[in-house]
Structure 1
C-alpha cells in the first residue's frame, strides 16, 4: 500500500512538472523583415543626430531594441542585395556581376537553392512576401521563339502573356503567400502578381516624367496605382499580422518596400511635412507606417516573441535630389562618402534596427560589422538548423550579438562590398580596400570619366576608424595591408564562400577570378 502511494505521488509530480509552462519548449519567434528601398544611413534620426527628417517611430524601435551602426548591404544597388538577403550568399557568385535586373528578367535564384523562406517554411513557419521582388520572374510567352528585349523598352513586353501563371516565383522559393510587383516602381510592367498570377491583365500604358515622381513607360494594370503601392503593401502586411497572430504556428513576413525609391510619391497628408523636399516627406510617411505596423504587432499580443528588423537595400539615391537636401542641411549618408551605386560607405552602409523583447535588451547599440547576408544564418540558428556547406555561404548568425554573448573576435573575418559596375571592396576590422580608382558608381569620380580615373591609383585603402569619410587614400604607404586584404578577397572568391566550410563553386565566371585588379570595370 505504501509503495502504491509513493508511485501515485511520483506520477503526479512528474505529470505536474511536465505540464508547467516553464517546461514547455518555447515557440520560435515570429519574424518580420522590412526592407526599405534607397533609404540612406543618415535619414534616420537614431543614426544621425543632424538628420532633418523626423522618424520618431523607427527611432523608438531602435531605443526598444538594438541598432547596428556598421551594417552593410552586399551591394550598393537593389537586385544583388535582395539576392544576398534571401540566400545568405554574395550576388557576384551568380550570373549577376553588375547592374540590376528589369521587370522582364528571368529568375535569378534557382529552385534548388535554399532561401530564408524555404528554410523557415521547413521548420513550421507560414511564410509571406509583400512588396518589390526584383529578382526576376519567368513570364509566359505568346511566342516562345520571340523573346527579344531586356525590359527597358515598352515593346519588350508585347510577347508576354499576362493571363498565364509566372514560373520561378517567390512561391517556388519558399513563400506560402506572395503578393508584389516584379521590379522597381519605375520599371515596367506595372502589375501586381499574387501567387504566380497577375491580378489584372494590363490593358494600357502609363508613364510619368515628373521631377521626383517619374517612371518609365510600360504596360499598366487598372488596379496598379503608383501613389498607393507603398500604402497598399503596409495595409496588407498589417492585415496579415492580425490574421496570422491568431494561429498556433509562427510566421515570417518579408515586406520589401518600393520606397523611398523613385517615383517619390508621398501621399497628400505627408506632402510638405518635412520642410525639405518630397523625398523627406516620403521617408516620414514610411516612418509613420512603421509605427502602425508595430502597433498591430503589439495589439495582437505577440510583441514579446516577434523579431522585427528594419533596414534598407542600399544607400540613398541621387534621384532624391541629394543636392537639395544637402543645401538645407540634411545629409542622407551622414558623415559617409557617396550614395547609392557607389563602392564608398554611403552606397552600402545602412540603418539596421532589430527589436525582439524576449531576447534583446532595450537601448543597445552595436558597432559589430554585419551584412544583410547574415539573415540566413541568423534564422538557421533561431530554429536550430545547421546550414549545409552549400547554404548561406556568406552568412554569419547575429544571435550572439542579440544575446550579448561575450566574444574575443568579431563575427566576420571580412566583408565584401560590391558596386553597380562590379567594383569590389573588402573590409576587415578598421581597414577597407577598394579594388578600383573611383566610386565604381554614380558619384565623382565616375568610372566613365577616363581622364580622371586614369590619373588615380588603381587601389584605395582607408582606415574607417580614423577616416570614416574615406578622404585619405593610404594604399601607397601601407602596402602590407593592401596585400593582406587583396589576398583575403581572392580567397573568398576562389573558395566560393567567406564562411568556414568546404569550398564551393561559383555559379558562373565571366572574367579571370585571379586577376582581381578590376580597374576598368
Structure 2
C-alpha cells in the first residue's frame, strides 16, 4: 500500500522502498525486503554481511537458543535457529525456502534459493490510484518509475504470463518476469507452493429441513443447559479432539544494505513473512 505518508515522502524526494518493486501488503520485494541489523560486541564481527536467507519468524528459535530454552516442534513451527548467521557464516544455508503471504490469498508465493514464484499476476496488495490512501499495484509502480516486464502504463499487459517467476540474484528489482523462459522452474516452484497452500473450502450447500430440525432439538433449552457433543469430536478417553493446522505461512524480509565497519553492526540478508 502506497499510502498518503509514502506518497508525501516520495514527493519530498524519498523513496521508502528504495528501487524495489512493490508496496506494503503486496508480495513483490518492496513489500517485505528490509534491512536487518544486529550488534553484539565481542560476538558479532563489526562491518560484516551475511548472505543467509532468514525470516522474522526465525527470531523465536534464535532467542530460544540464545537463552538456552528448549522448545518442542509445535512451539517452533517453521522457526529456524539463525544464531550461526549472526556470529559467523555457515557453509550451508540455514534455510532456502520461505512462503510469502500478501493481502490477496491468490498471490501466495514461495521463495527457494534465488527464485521467487508468485502464482498470479500483480502484487496482490491494494490497487488504488496515487492520491488515495490505498494506492498500490501496477499503477503505483508506474507512478514511482518502477519497471516490470508485465506492466505498461500502470496496467498488466494483456499478453503477460499468468504467474510470475523472478531470479532475485540477477534482478532483485524484479524488472523481468522469467515465467515463460524457465517452464521447468515454474513447474517445480508451483508444485512446491501447492504443498503449502491451504485447501479451499468447497461450495456451501443449503441446509435441509431435517438438519435444521436436528440442530433445533440439540440446542440448549434454557440458560446453563449444554448441547450434546458429537461422538466424532471426542477421543477414546472421552476427551475433546483438538486439531492443529497442517501448515504455517510465513512472510519474508530481506535486507539489502551494507553496514559501515565503524557502526559495530552486522547486516544480514533477511527474507521473511508471518
Range into which the TM-score falls when normalised by the shorter chain: 0.5 to 0.7
Question: How many residue pairs end up in the alignment?
Answer: 179
Residues 1:476 and 2:180 are matched in the alignment: yes
Residue 353 (structure 1) aligned to one of 7, 29, 37: 37
Preserved contact between residue 425 and residue 433 of structure 1 (Cα < 8 Å): yes
Partner of 2:138: 445
TM norm structure 2: 0.58
Task: Assess if the C-alpha contact under 8 Å between 1:382 and 1:399 holds in 2.
Answer: yes
**What CA distance in whole angstroms lies between the structure 2 residues aligned with 1:508 and 1:402?**
27
Residues 443-502 of structure 1, C-alpha deviation per residue, up to 9 Å, x if partnerless? Answer: 2238xxxx95876422100111111111211111101111222222233457xxxxxxxx
Partner of 2:190: 486
Query: 1 CA distance for matches of 2:81 and 2:185?
Result: 27
Tell me if the contact between 1:433 and 1:482 (Cα under 8 Å) persists in the aligned partners: yes
Rounded Cα–Cα distance in structure 1 between residues aligned with 2:15 and 2:156: 26
Q: How far 1:426 sits from its partner (Å)? A: 0.8
Task: Report the Cα distance in structure 2 between the residues aligned to 1:429 and 1:413, rounded to whole angstroms.
Answer: 5
Q: Structure 1: how far apart are the matches of 2:195 and 2:87?
A: 31
Are 1:415 and 2:98 an aligned pair? Answer: yes
Please list, as runs of the form range in 1=range in 2, the aligned pairs for 1:139-218 lying within 5 A after superposition: none
Superposition RMSD in Å: 2.7
**Does the 8 Å CA contact 1:438/1:453 hold for their aligned counterparts?**
no
- Please state whether the residue corresponding to 1:445 is helix, strand or coil: helix
In terms of fraction of residues, the more helix-rich structure is: 1
Residue 332 of structure 1 is matched in structure 2 by 16
Rounded to whole Å, the distance in 2 between the matches of 1:336 and 1:387 is: 36
Alignment of 1:293-312 (within 5 A): none
Matching residue within 76, 82, 86 for 1:402: 86
Secondary structure, counterpart of 1:377 in structure 2: helix
Structure 2 Cα separation of the partners of residues 395 and 374 of structure 1 = 4
**How far apart, CA to CA, are the structure 2 residues paired with 1:506 and 1:454?**
38
Q: Which residue in 2 is equivalent to 1:434?
A: 118
Alignment of 1:60-459 (within 5 A): 317-407=1-91, 409-422=92-105, 423-442=107-126, 443-445=136-138, 452=156, 456-459=160-163
Equivalent-residue separation in structure 2 for 1:484 and 1:324 (angstroms): 41
Higher relative contact order (CA 8 A, sep 6+): 2
Contact 1:415 1:427 in 2 (8 A): yes
User: Which of 170, 177, 189 is matched with 1:466 structurally?
Assistant: 170
Residue 149 of structure 2 aligns with which residue? Answer: none
Per-residue Cα deviation, 1:383-408 (whole angstroms, up to 9, x for no partner):
2334322122211111101120432x
Question: Quick one: structure 1 residues 420 and 397, their matched pair in 2 at CA, closer, same or farther if it must change by over 3 Å?
Answer: same
Aligned to 1:16: none
Checking the alignment, whether the CA contact within 8 Å between 1:420 and 1:440 is kept in structure 2 is yes
Name the stretch that deviates more: 333-342 or 349-358.
349-358
Indicate conservation of the 8 Å contact 2:20/2:174, yes or no.
Answer: yes
1:433 Cα deviation from its structure 2 partner: 0.4
Q: Which sections of structure 1, spanning at least 5 residues, go unmatched?
A: 1-316, 495-503, 510-521
Match of 1:506 in 2: 245
Q: Which runs of 5+ in 2 are unaligned?
A: 127-135, 140-154, 199-242, 249-274
Residues 222-257 of structure 1: per-residue CA shift (max 9 Å, x gap): xxxxxxxxxxxxxxxxxxxxxxxxxxxxxxxxxxxx
Give secondary structure in 2 for the equivalent of 1:391: helix
Q: Tell me the CA shift for residue 348 of structure 1.
A: 0.9
Q: Deviations over 1:323-346 (max 9, x none)?
A: 443344321111210110111001
